Amino acid sequence: MAVRLNSLHLITYLTFTFLISSTHSQQLYTNFYQKSCPRFDQIMQETTTNKQINSPTTAAAALRLFFHDCLVEGCDGSILISSTHFSKAERDADINLSLPGDGFDVVVRAKTALELACPGVVSCADILAVATRNLVTMMGGPFYTVKLGRRDGLVSRASRVNLPKPSMPMNQLIEIFTSRGFTIQEMVALSGAHTIGLSHCTEIRSDIYNYSRTSPIDPSLNRRYAEGLRSACADYRKNPSLSVFNDVMTPRNFDNAYFQNLPRGLGVLKSDRALVMDPRTRPFVELYARDQKAFFDAFGRAMEKLSLYGVKTGRRGEVRRRCDSFN
Continuous segment of H or E residues that includes residue 24: helix 2-25
Please state, in angstroms and rounded to a whole number, the distance separating the CA atoms of residues 253 and 190.
16
Catalytic annotation, residues: 68
Cβ neighbours, 10 Å, residue 68:
21
Q: Collapse the DSSP code of 198 into the 3-class scheme (helix H, G, I; strand E, B; otherwise coil) and give the result.
A: strand
Backbone angles phi, psi at 30, to 5 degrees: -65, -30
First-to-last C-alpha distance (Å) of the chain: 47
Evaluated on CA atoms 196, 201, 203, 207, the torsion sign reads positive
Q: With helix as H, strand as E and coil as C, how does 247-283 read?
A: CCCCCCCCCCHHHHHHHHCCCCCHHHHHHHHCCCCHH
Burial 122-161 (b: 16+ CB within 10 A, else e): bbbbbbbbbbbbbbbbbbebbebebbbbbbbbbbbbbeeb
